[in-house]
Structure 1
C-alpha cells in the first residue's frame, strides 16, 4: 500500500485513503506543482496475478480510456508502473457513490433514479459508439458517483473491454454477481452493448427497491413486488432490461433512453385514462407538420419515435395478462403505424384464432380496423403500398375465413382474400396454396351451375384435382402444422360428403383411398416428428382429422 505523505513520480503527494475494492485501493493525492487534487487507484500486481485479469489488459484498457472525453466519465491522465503496483491517476470526483446513498437512506426516489438512469444511458451510448465499442460490464451503484450538483460519474473501468467482431466470447468472465448479465460468465457469446443494458436494469432495480441483487434472495423480482407505489411503466422497463436472452432486451441505449423518457406512458392507470399511443401518433403527426415540412433529420427522428412507440405496444401485447389486454395493445400499435403488417398478423394468429374460431364479431372488428383512416388513406390502402406484405396478410385472412369462420369456415368470403394474396410474392408453396384455395372457394359458388349452353361451368373432376394438388408436399414445413391439418381435414371431409359425385366425375375409389393414405403418411412423417414443438391444439386437430378420415373411409367402402 502507498504511504500517506509519500510523493509518487515526483509530483503526486498521497493525502489519504478514500476507497478500497477487491484488488485496488483509491487514494486522494495532490499535485503540488499544479495545486490540483487527483484520485490515484493502486492495483496490486500480486492481487492481479491471482485473478483472471492480467497486467497487460489493465494497461491496454486504461490507455484506451485516456482518450475518452465525456462529462459523466472521469479523465485519466497518467498510468504509472510503480514497484509492486499499477497506479492510475484520474480526476478526483467529489461526492459519494449511489451505493452509499442506498445503504444510508434506503430506496431512492423514483424520479431521481430515472434521471440518473438517463445520464447513464447517455454515457453508455458514448462508450458503445467508440470504434470498436467499449463494453463497461460492471455497472452497479458502487461504481456510480453522485456529485453535489446532481450529476453522476461512472468510475472504475477495471472490467471494461473492447467488443471484437472476431471473438466468439470473452476471454475472461468478469462482472459482479447479481448485477452481471448471464453472458458475462461464459458459454453464451461475448458481451456487447446489451450486456450493459442488463446491468443498468439491475442497477435501477437496486436503487428504487433497496434490494441488492447480489444478496439473498439473489433474484430480480418485479419492482412493484417490493413497493406497489412504483410505476408499472418503470417496472416494464426494468423487466425488459433484465431479460436473460439478450435478443429480448432493449437492443441499444437510444431505445432504452426513449423508454425512460416516456416511462409514465407505460403505466396501466395512464393507459386506461387515455388512448396513449394514438395520442402519441397524433402528437407525432402535429409536430411533423408544425415543424413545417421539416428536414430529413426531423423526419427520421419522428419515424424513430413512431417505431419505438409501436414496438413498446407489441411488447405489451406479448406480455398481456389477458387476451383483451393483448388485443388492445395490438390495435393501438396498428394505430401508431398502420403500415406494419406483423401487428395485423399477430392480431389474427394469436388473438382471433387463439381458439380456432374466427367469429362474426371478430371479422367485423377486423374489417372496421382496415377501413380506419390515417390522413387521407385507409389502413388497408396504407398496407397495400407494400404488395408483398399485403399479400401475406391477405393469405392469413383468407385462411381464417376458409377454415375458422364461425368454427366451420366460410369459403365464399375467403375467395376475395386468396385472390388478393396471389398478387404479391409469397413463398412458392403459399402462393400455389392461395391459388388453389381461391379456386376451391369459387367452386362452392359455381359447382353444379351451368352456362347458357347447358354445360357445367366446373366439374367435380376439376374440384378433385385442385384438392389433391393442395395436399401435395410437406405443408407443415412450408406453412405450419395447423394449416396442414386444416387442409387434410378439408380433403377427408369432401371425400365423405362428395364421394359419389367424385366417382361419377371419373375419380376412382382407389384414388380416394390413396389420398387418405397419403394424408396419414404426412401426419406421421411431418407432424408426429415435431416433438416438443407440437402444441396441444395440434394434437386436438389430429384427433379431429382422424375422425374425418374414418368417416371418409366408411363412405368410400359403401361405393365399392
Structure 2
C-alpha cells in the first residue's frame, strides 16, 4: 500500500486513504506544483489473483476513458505501471455514492431522482453516440457519485464495451444481478444502447422505492406498489425501461430523456383531461370536415400554417439573440420540434452559440471569444435527440434532408474541432467531419468545404492515438504522417482562399502542435528547418493579413491574430530548445532558427 505523505512519480503527494474495494485502494493525492487534488487508484500485484488479466482490463478501461470528454464523466490524468502495482490518477470527485445515500436516507425524492435520471440519460447518450458506440452495462447506484452541487458523475468503466455490429452476442456475462438486462446473461443476444436503458430503469426503481432489485424479492413491482404518491407517468416510464424484450423499451436515451421531461403528461389524471379535450375537438371538427376534399384542403392549410409558424419561430429567435438569449434558444428549439427535417433552426442555434452568445469574455477582460461550451454542446445534442412522440430522433429526420444534414454536420464538426470549451475536442468532431467529408458538393456545402472537412477529419483521427503505444512501447501514430497532414491542412486553406477566421484557426492548430510536439516530430525525422519554415510562413501570412474594421468578425480576428503572432514566437523558441542538444546555431528571417539539412519536403 502507498504510504501517507509519500511522493508518487515525483509529483503526487499521498494525503490519505479515501476508499477501498476488493482489489484496489483509492487515495487522495495532491499535485503540489499544480496545487490540485487528484484521486489515485492502486491495484497491487500481491493483492490480486491473475494480476496481469486484471491489469489488462484496467488498461482497456483507462484507454476508453481517455477518449471521452463529458461533464458527468471523470477524466484519467495519468497511468503509472510499477513493478508491484498499477496506479491510475484521475479526477477527485467530492461526494457520495448514491447507494450510500439510499442506505442512510431510504427512497429519494421524486424530483431529485428525475433530475439525476436526466443527467444520466445525457451521459449515456454521449457514450452511445461515439463511433463505435460505448455500452456502459453496469448502471447502478454504487457507480453513480452525487456531488454537493447536485450533479452526478458516472464512474467505474470496468464492464463497458465498444459495440460491434458483427457480434451476435457478447462473449462474457458482465453486469450486476438485479440491475442487468436479460441480454447480459449469455445466449440472449448482444448488449446495445437499450441494455443501458434497462439498467438505468432498474437504478431509478431502487432510488424511488428504496428496494434493491438485486435483493429479495428479486423482482421489480410497479413503483406505486411501494408508494402510491409517486407519479403514474414515472411508473409507466420505468416499466417501459425494464421490459425483458429490448424492442419494447425506449430505443434511445434521447427518447427516454424526452419522456422524463414530460413524465407528468403520462399521468393518468392528465391523460383523462386530454381525452376529454380531444373528444370535444373531434365533435367540433366533425361538423366542419364534411368530405375528402375538405380534408385535403385542411392538410394544405395545416402545412401552410406549420411553415409560417416555423419561419416565425426562427425570425423571432434571430431578433432576440442579443436581448433575451434564453428565449432565443427556446424559439430555435420550438422550430426544430415543429419541423425537425428543416436545417435552418439547427444552423441558427449553432451560430448563436458560437457568436451572439460569446461576444465577450465572462472574466471582465473584454476579449472577444468564440467558445462552444459544455452547456451549449449538451443543448445541441438534446435537440438532435427525441423531442416528439415518434421513436425517430430529430437527427433521423434531418438526415432525410441530406443537403441540410451535410451542411450542419460540417458546421458542427468545425465547432467541435476548434471551439469546444475554447480549445477544441478533436474526438467529438470526427463523426461530423466524416459525414461532411463524404458528402457530394451542393450549394450549401461546396467542394472547398468538403476538402477542408477531409483534412480536418484526418487530423482529428490522429488524436485518439497520440498517447497510445503498443506492447513494444512504439507510438501508435506516425508523427511524420501527422506532420504532413498538418502542413497540408494550412496549405489547402491558403490555396482555397479561406476566410480570415478559417485561416487563423488552421494556423492556430499547426502552431500549437509544433509547440507541444516538437520532440515527437524530431523523433520522426522532421527537421528544425522544416518546422521553422512553416512557422515563418505562418508569421508572414498572419502578419500581412488585413482585418477589415467594422465587419462582424473584426474584433475576434484581431484578437486571434495578435495571440497567434505571439504563439509563433514561442513555438520558434520551443523548436530551438528541442534541437539545441547538437549546439548548432544559426538564424533565419523573423526570429527563426535554422540548422541541419532538409531531408523531406517542407
Q: State TM-score, norm by structure 2.
A: 0.48
Distance of 2:114 and 2:276 partners within structure 1: 21
C-alpha spacing 1:225/1:303, structure 2 compared with 1 (3 Å): farther
Alignment partner, residue 237 of structure 1: 237
Distance of 1:199 and 1:141 partners within structure 2: 10
C-alpha spacing 1:149/1:277, structure 2 compared with 1 (3 Å): farther
Alignment partner, residue 264 of structure 1: 264
Distance of 2:306 and 2:20 partners within structure 1: 51
Distance of 1:10 and 1:276 partners within structure 2: 71
Alignment partner, residue 118 of structure 1: 118
Distance of 2:154 and 2:27 partners within structure 1: 17
Structure 1, 147-156 or 291-300: larger mean CA deviation: 291-300
The residue correspondences of 1:170-209 to structure 2 (distance < 5 A) are 170-209=170-209
Instruction: Give the one of 311, 315, 322 matched to 1:292.
Output: 311
Distance of 1:212 and 1:126 partners within structure 2: 27
Alignment partner, residue 3 of structure 1: 3
Does the residue aligned with 1:114 lie in a helix, a strand or coil? helix
CA drift at 1:22 = 3.1
Root mean square deviation of aligned Cα: 3.2
**Structure 2 unaligned residues grouped into runs of 5+:** 283-301, 315-331, 341-382, 392-602
Distance of 1:152 and 1:111 partners within structure 2: 14
Alignment partner, residue 302 of structure 1: 338
CA-to-aligned-CA distance 1:308-361 (integer Å, 9 cap, x gap): 75459xxxxxxxxxxxxxxxxxxxxxxxxxxxxxxxxxxxxxxxxxxxxxxxxx
Alignment partner, residue 369 of structure 1: none
C-alpha spacing 1:52/1:165, structure 2 compared with 1 (3 Å): farther
Report if the CA contact (8 A) 2:254-2:386 is conserved.
no
CA-to-aligned-CA distance 1:388-428 (integer Å, 9 cap, x gap): xxxxxxxxxxxxxxxxxxxxxxxxxxxxxxxxxxxxxxxxx
CA-to-aligned-CA distance 1:70-128 (integer Å, 9 cap, x gap): 11111111111123332211110111121121111111100110011001111111111
Report if the CA contact (8 A) 1:288-1:294 is conserved.
no
Report if the CA contact (8 A) 2:233-2:264 is conserved.
yes
Structure 1, 146-155 or 249-258: larger mean CA deviation: 146-155
CA drift at 1:264 = 0.4
Distance of 1:102 and 1:162 partners within structure 2: 31
CA-to-aligned-CA distance 1:437-476 (integer Å, 9 cap, x gap): xxxxxxxxxxxxxxxxxxxxxxxxxxxxxxxxxxxxxxxx
Larger Cα-atom Rg: 1
CA drift at 1:167 = 2.0
Report if the CA contact (8 A) 1:61-1:161 is conserved.
no
CA drift at 1:298 = 6.2
2:152 is equivalent to residue 152 of structure 1:
yes
C-alpha spacing 1:41/1:205, structure 2 compared with 1 (3 Å): same
Distance of 2:193 and 2:42 partners within structure 1: 28
CA drift at 1:303 = 5.5
Report if the CA contact (8 A) 1:73-1:155 is conserved.
yes
CA drift at 1:136 = 1.1
Alignment partner, residue 540 of structure 1: none
CA drift at 1:248 = 1.0
Does the residue aligned with 2:311 lie in a helix, a strand or coil? coil
Q: State TM-score, norm by structure 1.
A: 0.51
CA drift at 1:267 = 0.4
Q: How many residues align?
A: 310
Distance of 2:165 and 2:213 partners within structure 1: 31
Report if the CA contact (8 A) 1:48-1:55 is conserved.
no
Alignment partner, residue 379 of structure 1: none
Report if the CA contact (8 A) 1:53-1:172 is conserved.
no
Alignment partner, residue 77 of structure 1: 77
Distance of 1:227 and 1:52 partners within structure 2: 47
C-alpha spacing 1:272/1:156, structure 2 compared with 1 (3 Å): same
Distance of 1:43 and 1:55 partners within structure 2: 8
Alignment partner, residue 43 of structure 1: 43
CA drift at 1:161 = 1.3
C-alpha spacing 1:261/1:45, structure 2 compared with 1 (3 Å): farther
Alignment partner, residue 20 of structure 1: 20
**Structure 1 unaligned residues grouped into runs of 5+:** 313-560
Alignment partner, residue 57 of structure 2: 57
C-alpha spacing 1:288/1:174, structure 2 compared with 1 (3 Å): farther
Does the residue aligned with 1:234 lie in a helix, a strand or coil? helix
CA drift at 1:238 = 0.5
CA-to-aligned-CA distance 1:211-270 (integer Å, 9 cap, x gap): 111111111111011000000100011011111111111111100000000000000011
Report if the CA contact (8 A) 2:310-2:335 is conserved.
no
CA-to-aligned-CA distance 1:176-229 (integer Å, 9 cap, x gap): 111111222221222111111111101110111011111111111110110000
Distance of 1:226 and 1:259 partners within structure 2: 22
The residue correspondences of 1:303-318 to structure 2 (distance < 5 A) are 310=389
C-alpha spacing 1:94/1:310, structure 2 compared with 1 (3 Å): closer
The residue correspondences of 1:455-494 to structure 2 (distance < 5 A) are none
Distance of 1:8 and 1:265 partners within structure 2: 54
Alignment partner, residue 68 of structure 2: 68
CA-to-aligned-CA distance 1:147-172 (integer Å, 9 cap, x gap): 11111111111211111122222233
